[in-house]
Structure 1
Amino acid sequence: MNAPAVPPDRLSKPLWRQVLALALPALAQQYLHLVVQLSDQYLAGRFELPDPQQRTGYLSALNTAGYLYWFVSSYTVLVSVGSTALVARFVGAGNWPLAKHATGQAVVLAAVFGVLGAAAALVGLPDLIDALQLHGAAARVCVEFLTPLAALLVFQITESACAACLAGAGDTRTGLKVLGLVAVLNVPLAWGLCFGIGPWAGLGFVGIALGTGLSHVIGCVTLLVILARGRSGLKLHLANLVPDFPLIRRLLWVSVPAAVDSLSAAFCQLWFLSIVNRLGDTAAAAHGIALRWEALGFLSGAAFGTAAMTLVGQNLGAREPARAARCGWAAFAIGGAVMSGMGLLFLLFARPMFRVFCPDPHLSGIVETGAPALRLIACAMPALASQIVFTAALRGAGDARVPVLFSWCGFLGVRIPLAYLLTAPRVDLGALGVVPGADMGLFGAWIAMCTDLWVRGAFFAVRFASGKWKTVEV
């Protein structure tokens, strides 16, 4: 089952149509993933407890769990970025046998990293959550929630790798359909396992996570079956699952720097979360809900980043670097416009958006704390678009090393220091003494986050504009 290198009709289409053809299915896919997260948040907000105030602790636990679950997405970069970049290069060059072989090697890597990640998570979860300043009942609930997700991690990583290979071949529709299945299954599975069915009382809070994990198992198996039968020029053969270490090295040559970038960002995000958690359960819960809604913008950028990564990789494979650059700028322009529109929604409807997850009057403090932060992030949407889309475009070109430095500068030089200074009444610098802080609570933390986004957004735009990525070999 072969297909032309880069379909001629695609080359003849205007760039904006090429971008939208890839980005819109990916956008719908990202939003379906968000539906899974929001449905989990919705169930948590309505989880009945003897003391309504305990629900704040549950929401705080779900926020921390959400951060750690997001860490999984960063971990999958160890496989997904190299898969998309290499498959796109091979497809652009018309080398379909190598594209199929790279797909098989991506599945092998996903299985290996999935097993290793699951083992590490199951052993280290309690200590990690304690380090994130979550204690007591909230910490216990968080560990219980994440345990089934950790146990089933290999399926989610393999699902991501399969979708990444298809995206490299220019097929984002199949991933959309499969994740649609995952989202449709997640709601009844999570609800039934949480609250029970008929005389069965259910598993409680942990049932939400188990339902999510099982829906990803089904998504993974579905994608493997699809690739085994052949789709979009890619087909899994048993021969392609035999480890090919030179090709695996090529995959990792792109993926490892990208994963270092994503994982170091994830670690810094967890550091940032520990600062927020010190502000108490109300601030932590408000932070988590604000991030859920902010994902409307973030995931839009990720979809256009997928388009940029695929088009840049395919055009470089076809030896069209100038066209690759135009594709990257087109993806940023359209993605930035969409994300700015999302920012307008945050400005206008922050309070109603919070009340969706905080209908109980006892949770009004979460609304009052979180709504200003959600409005603030609207101002950073253009910068966030630059950071996300150009990061993906550079990864599609195989330029994944220099961007790591940008992430470190943004987090370690801007976000973390500012977060300490703006959230606390005073900051202990050890031998340097104590300096006064702004004591702005959660709002101060989000000021630090927005400042970081503008710094990194500028760095990535300048790097892409330099054109140095056009000569990177993968």
Structure 2
Amino acid sequence: MLSPTAPPDTLSRPLWRQVLALALPALAQQYLHLVVQLSDQFLAGRFELPDPNQRPVYLSALNTAGYLYWFVSSYTVLVSVGSTALVARFVGAKDWALAQHATGQSVVLAVVFGLLGTVAALLGLPSLIEALKLTGDAAHLCVEFLTPLAVLLAFQITESACAACLAGAGDTRTGLKVLGLVAVLNVPLAWGLCFGVGPIRGIGFVGIALGTGISHVIGCVLLLVILARGKSGLKLRLANLVPAPGLIRRLLRVSVPAAIDSLSAAFCQLWFLSLVNSLGDTAASAHGIALKWEALGFLSGAAFGTAAMALVGQNLGARTPDRAARSGWTAYALGGGVMSFMGLLFVLLAEHMFRLFCPDPSLQPIVDTGVPALRLIACAMPALASQIIFTAALRGAGDSRVPVLFSWFGFLCVRIPLAHLLTAPQVNLGSLGTIPGYDLGLLGAWVAMCSDLWVRGTFFAIRFAGGKWKKVEV
């Protein structure tokens, strides 16, 4: 039965308008989060240190912490992808009762996975950071930074699940408003906890992370209240929070393969990071800053991927698979255009972007190391758009198994081997001896990354064009 709070039917509107209506709020939301990350990087480059020469150590710690915190985004896929895909199918079929039930089960899964993630992080962080070849003070600082985020993890995953359910219902504006508030609160909280307010002394580096964690707690509570009151056809009721094994299995049937994909990609990213960290603090710091700016493109793709996932799911639920396909291609055309424009900005403004975080002349080696890498990624923007947007579109259809193989091939057969070959003066092949490497340092690592993106971007475009995803049951 149609919910009295359901949004109007928009499936008959022009596709480009539907894509923009979903993608632009998501894009604003993504960029607000990027502002928070850039603010954190800005803070890490400016708070007082007893020894100014330790600044690269803090930036290196923040870079590794950023990678591990990005791992959280991959972990939330255990809930968010299935939530968006299933809610979108039910909304497309106008089955609002099941859409609301799926929302409740998503919240239950988010809390469970959040608590499990907290325990795992608190027990395993030191060993994981050691495996990433981050040592000494940088390793200690990284553990300190991530601990408050690990403690509050359940709130962030629940926040993500709520926003994912609303996106499945075609509502990305509510997520924008709430998560925009999270971003706005994050900046003063991080600054206040880092530097202090008035007579109250700040707690330094760790305060940056604590501000982020507290802001996500606020966002989680707000989204739960909004859903409890009813929004966009979804209403969170206590009855829907009672575990329903059948519906949970349907959610996990989509989310688990997608999570395996995201988490395995995250592990490979950490492996890749260990290679970068082995190049020294200067390369690690430059890599982290370049990634922060590269996120201007990556997050654009994620926003248009959100639109593709919701529209593909809704159109399949409405039994209009051809329109679902056109939704994916429209999202790629628009998102790829935005990302290519971002690539042009990297080429033109890379040095200015780096100097924003490296104002001290002593940090010039970081600028010199990172600028060529940031300019290089511009050539991979169309491929990155394909990989991100078509991955999301396939997940919206419930096709989340085969893409795992694409990710494994890209990382294990392209990025990691090439990174070993291009970054080091020689490569140790164990019993087979050694071979000469190209010793390109950080630039070699980014050449390997661009090569991987083109391989995976091609695979995902071919998979989506093939159309087998139209027949997947969720």
Question: Do they superpose with TM above 0.5?
Answer: yes
Q: Does 1:274 align with 2:271?
A: no
In 2, the alpha carbon distance for the partners of 1:74 and 1:397 equals 19
Q: Which SS does the other structure have where 1:11 is aligned? A: coil
Q: Counterpart of 1:2? A: 3
Partner residue in 1 for 2:322:
322
In the alignment, the residues of structure 1 paired with residue 421 and residue 229 of structure 2 have an alpha-carbon distance, to the nearest angstrom, of: 56
Q: Distance in 2 between matches of 1:340 and 1:144?
A: 37
1:260-299 correspondence runs (5 A):
260-299=260-299
Give CA deviations for 1:11-55 in whole Å, capped at 9, x if unaligned: 332111110000000000110111111111110011211222211
- Tell me the percent identity: 82
- Between 1:28-37 and 1:81-90, the stretch displaced more is 28-37
Instruction: Give the letter for the 2:76 counterpart.
Output: T
For residues 154-179 of structure 1, the C-alpha deviation after alignment (integer angstroms, 9 at most, x for no partner) is 00000000000000000000000001
2:58–2:138 Cα contact (<8 Å) kept: yes
State how 1:334-373 maps to structure 2 within 5 Å: 334-373=334-373
Q: Which amino acid aligns with 1:407?
A: S
For residues 31-50 of structure 1, the aligned pairs below 5 Å read 31-50=31-50
1:192 offset after TM fit, Å? 0.6
Look up the equivalent residue of 2:473 and give its one-letter code: E
Letter of the structure 1 residue corresponding to residue 55 of structure 2 = R
1:436 counterpart residue number: 436
TM-score by length of 2: 0.99
Cα distance in 1 for partners of 2:237, 2:353 equals 47
Contact 1:152 1:217 in 2 (8 A): yes
294-303 vs 196-205, which moves further: 196-205
The one-letter code matched in structure 2 to 1:175 is G
Q: Which amino acid aligns with 2:138?
A: A
Query: Which segments of 5 or more consecutive residues in structure 2 lack a partner in the other structure?
Result: none
Deviation of 1:3 (Å)? 5.4
**Contact 1:339–1:381 (CA<8 Å) still a contact in 2?**
yes
Name the structure 1 match of 2:311. 311
How do 1:20-31 residues align onto structure 2 when only pairs under 5 Å count? Answer: 20-31=20-31
Query: SS at the partner of 1:194?
Result: helix
1:389-404 to 2 correspondence within 5 Å? 389-404=389-404
Amino acid at match of 1:181: L
CA-based RMSD:
1.0
**Contact 1:5–1:93 (Cα < 8 Å) also in 2:** no
Partner of 1:471: 471
Matched-pair contact (CA < 8 Å) for 2:7–2:233: no
1:82-231 to structure 2, matched below 5 A, reads 82-231=82-231
Q: What is the alpha-carbon distance in structure 1 between the residues aligned to residue 387 and residue 100 of structure 2?
A: 31
Match of 2:413 in 1: 413
Deviation at 1:4, TM superposition (A): 8.9
The residue matched to 1:22 in structure 2 has which SS? helix
Pair 1:45–1:82, CA change in 2 (3 A): same
Instruction: Give the conservation status (yes or no) of the 8 Å contact 1:133–1:278.
Output: yes
C-alpha contact 2:423 2:441 (8 A) present in aligned 1: yes
Q: CA deviation at 1:5?
A: 7.8
* Per-residue Cα deviation, 1:366-418 (whole angstroms, up to 9, x for no partner): 10000000000000000000000000000000000000000000000000000
Q: Are the aligned partners of 2:134 and 2:277 in contact in 1 as well (CA < 8 Å)?
A: yes
Q: Where do 5+ consecutive residues of structure 1 fail to align? A: none
C-alpha separation between the residues in 1 aligned to 2:246 and 2:262?
A: 24
Structure 2 Cα separation of the partners of residues 235 and 372 of structure 1: 50
Q: Please state whether the residue corresponding to 2:201 is helix, strand or coil.
A: coil
Match of residue 240 from structure 1: 240
Q: 1:313-349 CA distances to partner (integer Å, 9 max, x unpaired)? A: 0000000000000000000000000000000000000
**What is the distance in 1 between the residues matched to 2:219 and 2:329?**
33
Query: Matched residue pairs, number?
Result: 473
Opposite residue 223 of structure 1, the aligned amino acid is L
In structure 2, how many angstroms separate the alpha carbons of the residues matched to 1:6 and 1:235?
A: 13
SS at match of 1:12: coil
User: Aligned partners of 2:242, 2:36: CA distance in 1, in Å?
Assistant: 34
Counterpart CA distance in 2 for 1:460 and 1:315 is 20
